[in-house]
Structures are given as structure tokens and as C-alpha cells.
Amino acid sequence: VSSVITESIFNDLLKHRNDAGCKAKGFYSYDAFIAAANAFPGFGTTGDLTSQKRELAAFFGQTSHETTGGWPTAPDGPYAWGYCFKEEQGNPPGEYCQASSQWPCASGKRYYGRGPVQISWNYNYGRAGKAVGFDGINNPDIVANDATVSFKTAVWFWMTEQSPKPSCHNVMAGGWGPSGSDTAAGRAAGYGVVTNIINGGLECGKGSDSRQEDRIGFYKRYCDILGVSYGSNLDCNSQKPFGFAAQSQPRLIKTVV
């Protein structure tokens, strides 16, 4: 991954992440990203160079939307302000605790959005912690305190298939093709399916949506920086959301700014 995303490119992609107005100033480091990337074989290294660059542009596009500090007239444009936040904004953020025998909420802990992908809910913290190697139930705050763990939760989510949804990685790396039911639901390979995986219930199948347009804007900027074309099917305007049960599927909360 470091051969595609050099430290210089990382700083260009996330141009204003360390600005004084960004609450995550100084948190998201290049070394932490590379350490997390290297912990997941296949991430950003699958397929030809075009596929690798598109996957990494898509990863940063989606996570930048979740952590954006941009606004329409922001310096260098709204899509130069990804990774401005490391925690969900709100006063106070929600508890996001759902009854679970496997991942029971710890007393006094809250499972609101943290990190690049704004991982949310106790069951997601539990599963991410088990996969990455931290106690997500008793220590969810580590996702906002340890940059490597924070990036690892995002890459874990990206790489993990949660049926009936494919993994974001498999879509962008070219390993997923629509089934007959996917085609009937308007789902076709491309960046739009990744948005559907992440937040399709709120953003997809409703025509143009400002949230998914923001995701696309980040993705296009990052593709331009990496010198790769965008591919097809960028939006999910006409895609029906994947069917999912709330307790078994991630629910991600976009940072409110």
C-alpha cells in the first residue's frame, strides 16, 4: 500500500486534517494508516494497479465523508477536509447500546461513532475488537485514542463481508458481481454499491442524495490525485438497499458538523 499511498500523497489526500479547526488534529498519522493496512492482506494490493488505486480512493472517499470537516466554500474545496473528526459530534453522542447476549454493553460505556469509518453500536465494537485485538466492549474509547487501532477498525469493516452484503473490498477489487436479485434491485459493481453497503438504508434508492454526492465528491478528488479513472456506477440513486437485520449489520453514523 505504501507504494501507492506515499506519505506525500497521504498528506495531499487529507490536506486539512491537522488544521486548528479540526478536532482530530494530530491524530490520523501516515504510520498508523500503513500499520493498519499491512495488517490486512489484500487491502489495496489486489488486482492491477488501477484496481488498487480505485480501492484506496474509495476507502478514503467513504471514510472522509464520515469524518468530514468541509463546507461548500472551504479552502481547497469541501473535499480537502476529510479526517477532521475522530468521534461522532453531538451533545452528547448517543449510547448506541442494543441488547445482546454475545456483546452486552458495559456499564457507563457508549458505543457512538469513532474512527475513520465511525464504527457504532456495541455489537460492532465487540466484533471489531475480537478481529483486531482490543476489548471493544469495555474499552471502546481506544478507537479514538490509538490511531493504529482506529485505522484497523476501518480496514476491518472494509474487508469484512456481512451477508447479504459483500465486503467493500471485494466490490472495489473486482471480486464481486451482481446476482440476479442484485440486478433486479439495480445494484451493479462500482462505487455506488460501496455506499449501499455502508449506508444504503438511508441514502440509496431515492434518487440523488446530498450525502452520497459528498461521498462521490471525495472519491473523485482522490482518484484524480492518484491518476486513475473513476469507473462506472458511482451512485446508488436507483439501487434498492441490501436487506439487513439491525443487530447483525453495521450501522454507521456520519459525523454531524
Question: Read out DSSP for 79-115?
Answer: GG-TT--SB--SSSPP------SSSPPPTT-----BT
d(CA 129, CA 139): 9
**Cα four-point dihedral sign 16, 59, 194, 148:** negative
Catalytic residue among 55, 66, 87, 203: 66
Q: How far from 167 is each of 81, 108, 223, 244, CA to CA, in Å?
A: 26, 32, 20, 14
**Closest CA relative to residue 113, chosen from 148, 154, 76:** 154
Cross-strand pairs, 114: 87, 119
Residue 55 falls in the annotated catalytic set: no
Supply 62's cell numbers.
467513504
Question: Read out DSSP for 97-161?
Answer: ----SSSPPPTT-----BTTTTB-SHHHHHHHHHHHTS-TTT-GGGGGT-HHHHHHHHHHHHH--
Catalytic residues: 66
